[in-house]
Structure 1
Amino acid sequence: MSAFLGPIHYWLYNKIKLQNNMVEAVILFAENKNVSNDLSSKLDNQYGTIDLRPLEEQIDISNIHGWLQECVSTVEYRLAYAVTTLLKKDSQKKEDSENSSKNLEELKEIFRTLGEKESGLNKDATVSEAYKCLNDTLLDGMPCDHANVLVSQEDHEIVWKRSLCVHERYWSEVGGEINNYYILREEYIKGLLAQANITFEKLDETTSRIAK
């Protein structure tokens, strides 16, 4: 079966699994905080699970693109729902609002720490290597979506632009706020770059820059 699969399929599948790690981290946080003890079950029942077996052992070889797209959708829904569940608040209740803000701050730290753990970059990493790390790690839909476009690339900096948001529909469908995704994503990116002496900066809502 592996003869039918190319590097891009394994590359995408690995990114799916890395985003699933984010979901698992949110579930663990919910359990430890006693916020939603049945969050894992709700996610499994409503959106399905991610099978972590090797790709060649489970993929539908007759529908490779469709199978991978389904996995992307599953892990997107799971992350959106998990985070949204923890950040739900009743605007009329001050306590709920304060708890939501506190949970977001703790989730930011969790995502940053997870990024550091999964990075693989060191202090000698180049900007080009760092950009590759981001592309190899962050799930932005299917490769054919072309969600990000390179704006400029120099030895000391790379600038890229988000051409479309492939995440928003999942967050909207679960009643969440897409801004929360990008807040946590930014912390995760900072974690990925933490050991590389490379800075990350949002130039505007859709344009980002890394530099050394």
Structure 2
Amino acid sequence: MSKFLGPIHFWLYNKINIQNNIVEDILNFSETKGLNLREELYGQYGDGELKSLEEAIDVANIHGWLQDQINRVENKLAAAVTEILKADSGSMEQLKKIFYENGVKSSTLNADSTVEEAFKLISDTLLDGMPCDHAIGVISQNENEAVWKRYECVHGRFWDVAGGDISVYYLLRDEFIKGLLEKANLSYEKVDETTGKISRR
């Protein structure tokens, strides 16, 4: 099977796994609020136990299978967050904490990490559709800062289905990035609604 799978497939599946871990933490939190979202979301979009890529993937339809996995985990995230906030709008701070802590857990950065390494990690961990979507693009990058722009929102349709607010997703995403950078001598700034920047402190 390995001859069918390339590094880009493992790279993308890892990003799906990272978002799936966030969803699982959110579902665990939802249970503390008396919500039973897990059964319904597992029924609609599959459970949170992801097998290794070699075991799980349909090699006859690699692209379609990966796109389906993205759709599942995006729908679960949007639905879980939206339902929790409908039940208790005060849960936002805990949701931010979940994203931040998952950023910390996903990080390989340290105090000596470069801007280039940090931006690569952001690209390697955040799920922005399929590589062919080209949702994010670099505007400028040097040893002191990297600036990127979102050219297409590949997440909004899932939040529409859930009856949620896509701006909530981007607030939570910002917390994930901050978590990634926690141990690095770098800071994150949201320049505007579609532009982000990391720079040396």
TM-score band, normalised by the shorter chain?
over 0.9
Distance in structure 2 (CA, Å) of the matches to 1:7 and 1:192 = 22
Provide the secondary structure at the position in 2 that maps to 1:202: strand
1:149 is matched with 137
Provide the secondary structure at the position in 2 that maps to 1:3: coil
Q: Structure 1 length as normaliser, TM-score?
A: 0.92
2:164 is matched with 176
2:106 is matched with 118
From 141, 159, 166, the equivalent of 2:154 is 166
CA RMSD for the aligned pairs?
Answer: 1.0
Residues 24, 48 of structure 2: 8 Å contact kept:
no
> 1:42-77 deviations in whole A, cap 9, x for unaligned?
111122235421101121101000000000000000
Matches within 5 A, 1:181-196: 181-196=169-184
1:105 is matched with 93
2:2 is matched with 2
Distance in structure 2 (CA, Å) of the matches to 1:45 and 1:164 = 30
Distance in structure 1 (CA, Å) of the matches to 2:188 and 2:167 = 18
Distance in structure 1 (CA, Å) of the matches to 2:73 and 2:48 = 7
Q: Structure 2 length as normaliser, TM-score?
A: 0.97
From 25, 31, 42, the equivalent of 1:44 is 42
Residues 173 and 182 of structure 1: is their aligned pair in 2 closer, same or farther, counting only changes over 3 Å?
A: same
> 1:153-194 deviations in whole A, cap 9, x for unaligned?
111100000000000000001100001101110011100101
From 150, 171, 185, the equivalent of 1:197 is 185
2:77 is matched with 79
| Pairs aligned (count) | 200
> 1:97-153 deviations in whole A, cap 9, x for unaligned?
xx31x2001111121112112212111110000001100100000000000011001
The letter of the residue matching 2:85 is L
Larger Rg: 1
Q: Which runs of 4+ in 1 moved over 6 A?
A: none
Distance in structure 1 (CA, Å) of the matches to 2:48 and 2:40 = 14
Provide the secondary structure at the position in 2 that maps to 1:194: coil
- Give unpaired runs (5+ residues) of structure 2: none
Distance in structure 2 (CA, Å) of the matches to 1:15 and 1:173 = 22
Residues 50, 71 of structure 1: 8 Å contact kept:
no
Distance in structure 2 (CA, Å) of the matches to 1:152 and 1:16 = 27
